[in-house]
Structure 1
Amino acid sequence: MATVYYVTHPQVRIDPAIPVPRWSLSGTGLARLSAVLGRPWVRGLAAVVASDETKAVETASMLAKAAGAALLVRPGLHENDRSATGFLPPPEFEATADAFFASPETSIRGWERAVDAQARVVEAVKAALAEAPPGDLAFAGHGGVGTLLTCALTGEPIDRRHDQPGGGGAVFAFDRRSLRVLHRWRPLEDPRIGEPV
């Protein structure tokens, strides 16, 4: 059985002067990721597929280098489009994200609708799975669309209660052939990553 790991980028350097998709990993994020690069699930990767956002490419590059795996950057895996508002202070962002998940068929403050982001990321993941080499894979992506992907794979309605733990740097896993979710979000540091529930 080949396993797919969806890995969200860990903590980033928040800079309101830089567009959010171009943010980089922070020192904390880099340290968290570095600490798990020797784990068996990382070493077993045949390829790592990244969103084209800087923080995701940085995450994917570190995973791919540790595994000696191919690195693929694919369109369609980016976070939900929030360019209508740009950077929002954390309390305002959280309130807007709550509304995004609570009303998936509505554009909240000009953001991409959750149903559209979900359809996009599901299509991009399936296309990447068809093109990637055989074996275990990782996707380096984002918490919002990762949550939408888990909802699609489990057949559950879009709901923020399925979101990753705060801070990012979380992993869920699914079977590459059947797309059955093996486990939901676990922190990068969790030794049980890859083990079914």
Structure 2
Amino acid sequence: MLALYLTHPQVQMDPLIPVPLWSLSDEGRQRVATFLARRTIPAGAFIFSSRETKAMQMADMLSEITGTPALSDHLMGENDRSATGFLPPSLFEQTADAFFAHPEASTDGWERAIDAQARIVATVDLALQSVPPDTPAIFCGHGAVGTLLKCHLEGRAISRSEDQSRRGVQGGGNGFVFDMKTRALLTDWVPMEDILPDWWKG
């Protein structure tokens, strides 16, 4: 059976609000609604989510379709960037580049990429142990840790060239599919608009 890792789409950015508490923007909500209207998500799928607001909002929308509760875990959250908090876009991009380029070092106090990767891989592995046979799983998460997970599944070194911003669409709302049993990566980042309704059939 297959699993889909899906990143939240566009958010309402507010420098006065901690980043983990940011909500989906109207555009982000509309993209999720359009995604769901295509009947892309199978009923009964298990849903796992980061506890960050934007990811949980997406997970709750998916849960209305699957009929299953969204199970959240803070260990599925984005790489810890609390040391810097909100950064202007240009500075954020520079810091994110360094985060991926030097995975064994902390960039301006950010969680190290190798630590974030170990965390997301272990948490996804643990979550999948609770999924019944022949049941698809969906993970609602974030771009950086999603990229770190994808690098692990593909057996590639950590690199920003593997990031959704390089291979999917800007603003988030991208996903990739992997085999739950073999942990084989089956797709690269795909915009949610291009994820077909039969993705879970393999």
TM range (shorter): over 0.9
2:153 is the counterpart of 1:149 = no
State the one-letter code of the partner of 2:8.
H
State the one-letter code of the partner of 1:96.
T
Moved more, 125-134 or 19-28: 125-134
**Which residue in 2 is equivalent to 1:90?**
89
Distance 1:79 1:45 in 2: 26
Could you say if the C-alpha distance between residues 195 and 51 of structure 1 is closer, same or farther in structure 2, counting changes exceeding 3 Å? closer
Please list the CA deviations of residues 17-73 of structure 1 after superposition, one character each: whole Å capped at 9, or x if unmatched.
000000000000000000011334413452110001000100111111112123111
**Which residue in 1 is equivalent to 2:53?**
54
Could you say if the C-alpha distance between residues 78 and 191 of structure 1 is closer, same or farther in structure 2, counting changes exceeding 3 Å? closer
Moved more, 183-192 or 36-45: 36-45
Could you say if the C-alpha distance between residues 59 and 11 of structure 1 is closer, same or farther in structure 2, counting changes exceeding 3 Å? same
State the one-letter code of the partner of 1:122.
V
Secondary structure of 2:145's aligned partner: helix
Secondary structure of 2:87's aligned partner: coil
- Contact 2:2 / 2:200 at 8 angstroms: preserved in 1? no
Aligned residues between the structures: 196
Distance 1:172 1:17 in 2: 32
**Which residue in 2 is equivalent to 1:181?**
185
Secondary structure of 2:58's aligned partner: helix
Q: Percent identity?
A: 50
**Shift of residue 184 of structure 1?**
1.0
Secondary structure of 1:138's aligned partner: strand
Secondary structure of 1:37's aligned partner: helix
Q: Which runs of 4+ in 1 moved over 2 A?
A: 38-41, 191-197
- Contact 1:45 / 1:64 at 8 angstroms: preserved in 2? no
**Which residue in 2 is equivalent to 1:162?**
162
Runs of 5+ consecutive residues of structure 1 not aligned to the other structure: none
Greater fraction of residues in helix: 2
Please list the CA deviations of residues 126-160 of structure 1 after superposition, one character each: whole Å capped at 9, or x if unmatched.
01101234400100000000000000011100000
**Which residue in 2 is equivalent to 1:119?**
118
TM-score (norm 2): 0.92
TM-score (norm 1): 0.94
**Which residue in 2 is equivalent to 1:39?**
38
Moved more, 60-69 or 151-160: 60-69
Please list the CA deviations of residues 57-106 of structure 1 after superposition, one character each: whole Å capped at 9, or x if unmatched.
00111111112123111231000000000000000000100000000000
Greater fraction of residues in strand: 1
Root-mean-square deviation over aligned CA pairs:
1.7
Runs of 5+ consecutive residues of structure 2 not aligned to the other structure: none
- Contact 1:74 / 1:128 at 8 angstroms: preserved in 2? no
**Which residue in 2 is equivalent to 1:16?**
15
Distance 1:158 1:45 in 2: 33
